[in-house]
Amino acid sequence: MKCSWQEGNRITLLVNGDEYYPAVFKAIDNAQQKVILETFIWFEDNVGKQLHSVLLRAARRGVKIEVLLDGYGSPDLSDAFVNELTAAGVVFRYYDPGPRLFGMRTNLFRRMHRKIVVVDETVAFVGGINYSAEHMSDFGPEAKQDYAIRIEGPVVQDILLFELENLPGKEAVRRWWKRRHRPEENRKPGEAQALFVWRDNGEHRDDIERHYLKMLANAKREVIIANAYFFPGYRLLHAMRNAARRGVRVKLIVQGEPDMPIVKVGARLLYNYLVKGGVQIYEYRRRPLHGKVALMDDHWATVGSSNLDPLSLSLNLEANLIIHDRQFNQTLRDNLQALIVNDCVRVDESMVPKRTWWNLGISVVVFHFLRHFPAMVGWLPAHTPKLAQVDPPVQPEMETQDRIEAEDGGKP
């Protein structure tokens, strides 16, 4: 399928789990027919148990529910936790589950990283927020800063169609060639417009990246990119630098207190190139940044699950919403500007590694290794993705009823 720009949408920015979870849970509680939920992480903590409860309530009143979790991101849900849902009729699947080796997860690459919820045909959620307590602001210093959106309007139909086409047995015909789709042009820019885009390992391998490149090429005044795991390829780095050199204020917000140390190492390899080219880099220091958002000038914005790193750009299944709306753009800008002013440290030339032949050589080697290693490993047959459905448990009362009917000659 190929989505087009849709008009007449109502799009609300949701910041952190504090705003996201109540909105999602309320939508599921109001569901009448169907709920489709995809996520990378679902933990069996306070937040995860709340999601469990709201899905269970919906299933018991007859709502059809389908859940897809990533096998690497959500490996530890207990059998009792899952079985209660499947017994109520929830279709529960894992994407590419893998066995543990010496207690460690082995299915590292090519993840289902999308975070999508579709309720009936009326409301959808897209973003970067998982289902775990660490997305709540009261979690403490390790609470994640993150974003999602609630959507009503015509684009919900596109998101729903995408989900239905990607259910098992509903996959579109795969061609032996890999056709690339050009970014969908917004031929009549206006307000409340939205375009659903995704990344897969077929015909949409670089759709999200291409929208970023197009945005940077079209920018006239300002670009703000906030990305948790920032380590893109040359094309995007060149585009950022070129935009800055022609007078666009290009601001990049990255993690200053990352949840994984390698993130800071990777991003800092790029500081010299970007800062020298005029890009303003800000390290967010309050807590780990987990957002994947960007805006351009006064209309364009995107929110989704895609980082700008090798995993998201080369291997993972991702989804973003591209938005053309003045009010939403301003809402996101206000939030990111507050982060820059209150919680960020700007990277200046004193923080950039000195340009020596040794540093240059090390940077080139490490850059290429980090940039291409995930993709090379992802070629291995052992990482061919698959879906595994969790069968519902046999209910004791059903077993008793079947035994009684058998003893009575099949009479109910």
Active site residue 211: no
Choose the catalytic residue: 52, 96, 113, 158.
113
Active site residue 297: yes
Burial of 56 (0-12, 13-18, 19+ CB in 10 A): middle
3-state helix/strand/coil string of the chain: CCCCCECCCEEEEEEHHHHHHHHHHHHHHCCCCEEEEEECCECCCHHHHHHHHHHHHHHHCCCEEEEEEECCCCCCCCHHHHHHHHHCCCEEEEECCCCEECCEECCCCCCECCCEEEECCCEEEEECCCECHHHCHHHCCCCCECEEEEEECCHHHHHHHHHHHCCCCCCCCCCCCCCCCCCCCCCCCCCCEEEEEEECCCCCCCHHHHHHHHHHHHCCCEEEEEECCECCCHHHHHHHHHHHHCCCEEEEEEECCCCCHHHHHHHHCCHHHHHHCCCEEEEECCCCECCEEEEECCCEEEEECCCECHHHHHCCEEEEEEEECHHHHHHHHHHHHHHHHHHEEECCHHHCCCCCHHHHHHHHHHHHHHHHHHHHHHCCHHHCCCEEEECCCCCHHHHHHHHHHHHCCCCC
Choose the catalytic residue: 34, 297, 298, 383.
297
Choose the catalytic residue: 292, 309, 324, 343.
292
Choose the catalytic residue: 29, 120, 259, 298.
120
Active site residue 264: no
Choose the catalytic residue: 290, 299, 325, 343.
290
Active site residue 251: no
Active site residue 292: yes
Choose the catalytic residue: 52, 70, 115, 158.
115
Active site residue 238: no
Hey, which residues are catalytic here?
113, 115, 120, 290, 292, 297
